[in-house]
Structure 1
Amino acid sequence: MNKKQLKLVTSIAIVILLLSIIPIFWIGQYLHPFSDDYVFGAEVHKVWNATHSLSASIMAAWNVAINMYHIWQGTYSACFLMAMQPGAFGMYWIVPIVLLTSLVTSTFTLMYMIMRKVLHASKLEYLFVSTIFVLINVQFVYSPYDAFYWYNGAMYYTLYYSLSLFLASLLIAFELSCNKYSKYFIGGATIFLTIFIAGGNFVS
């Protein structure tokens, strides 16, 4: 495949990906909290309605995470995010946007590090392979509802999977970096993200 052909098929792939994402976002306006969303988000919802204070809501979510850590299981960061579910603020429509965006951006980021930085592929090759990979991930997901629409369930796996891809990207960036200060920054971000992911689902 020559450069002109690659540019054409890459453009087509990107357009198809964008068009396939639009309906997923559009459905978001019809979503509502479900099951565990109510259990974890109740306290934050109560605080938000009473104060409309983001800091107070964050503190309430922190308290939920601490309580769950002591009485249930050690998924501290996940419990915090579950308590901060968008439905508590009347914004449940944003769920597929957050989850799908995290999946797409993390995949493109990791593919960039592998293909551009490690394998030294061309920009077009990187865009084509990454777009096809993301398209397959999105369109052939086993359960779209569990992957993109139910916040507590989807966040627990889709978001943490995406964070794991970002972590892999940081590890590659750390290894490739020759600048001491860049290594400090990347290393710090890697440590933070590792601790955060450790508080997620047991698979991640």
Structure 2
Amino acid sequence: MNKRQTYSRTWTYIDIGLLSVILLPVVIISAFNHPLGDDYWFTAMVREIGFPKAFGIIYDTVSPRYTVLSLMAVNPLVFGNFWLYKLIPVLYIPVFTLCNIYFLNTVSRFFDDNNGIKPDIYFISIVFTITYLAVMPGIGEGLFWVSSLAGYQTALMGLIVFAALMIQWHCQKQRSVIKAVATVLCFAFVMGCNEI
């Protein structure tokens, strides 16, 4: 690695660090995150009658979103942990960023690496994550309301991963069964977040 690449990489790390500081208020606000009504009633049902029965009742009467119901059934409140609940929005940010990295890593394979045109996917992913959080219509409803986070933001992450898997599947010379199964499972995951 020459001096120019080292200098460029150093500035990339500095930029990532500065951009990460922008997320600090989200981390601080998460300490004040509290469960809302739907978090409690679904948790109470799962604790009282168990996941299979609660899942069946809610699936038949409220919402047939099996992915969301499954995620809500394993939220920390079900296990009596209130403080871990506060970490859910904080954990969402790196997972969302990793989904973006996975997608951009897949797409960046189309760039010519020999000419140094390949983008810095980590930096772009963090910029995209911060931009997405900044323009989210209601960060309270989108990030700190865990039911919404489980339903909408999880679907978005699943869609990003699904798109990357589809691109990989399409571009493979020898298509693997594992990649096909992963793509189908990811599709089923995303469809389980659908409200229709």
Residues 1-16 of structure 1: pairs in structure 2 closer than 5 A: 6-7=8-9, 9-16=11-18
> Which of 46, 63, 66 is matched with 1:44 structurally?
46
Q: Which runs of 5+ in 1 are unaligned?
A: 48-59
The more displaced of 143-152 and 162-171 is 143-152
Q: Distance in 1 between matches of 2:30 and 2:87?
A: 7
Q: CA RMSD in A?
A: 2.5
Aligned in 2, Cα 1:45/1:199: closer, same or farther, shift over 3 Å? same
TM-score (norm 1): 0.78
- The structure-2 alpha-carbon separation of the partners of 1:96 and 1:9, relative to structure 1 and needing over 3 Å to count, comes to same
CA deviations over 1:83-126 (Å, ceiling 9, x no partner): 322222312112113322232111121111112x1234555543
Pick from 31, 38, 46: which aligns with 1:29?
Answer: 31
SS of aligned partner of 1:30: coil
| Partner residue in 2 for 1:188 | 181
Bigger helix fraction: 1
1:169 paired to 2:164: yes
Structure 2 gap ranges (5+):
none
Q: Deviations over 1:49-106 (max 9, x none)?
A: xxxxxxxxxxx23332222222233212212212322222312112113322232111
Judging changes above 3 Å, is the alpha-carbon distance between structure 1 residues 81 and 62 closer, same or farther for their aligned structure 2 residues? Answer: farther
8 Å CA contact 2:158, 2:189 repeated in 1 = no
Q: Is residue 2:64 matched to residue 1:81?
A: no
Taking only the aligned residue pairs, the percentage that are identical comes to: 20
Q: In structure 1, which of residues 53, 65, 69 is the aligned counterpart of residue 55 of structure 2?
A: 65
d(CA) in 2 for partners of 1:13, 1:144: 24
Q: Which amino acid aligns with 1:103?
A: F
State the 1:4 CA deviation: 7.0
* From 97, 105, 112, the counterpart of 2:105: 112
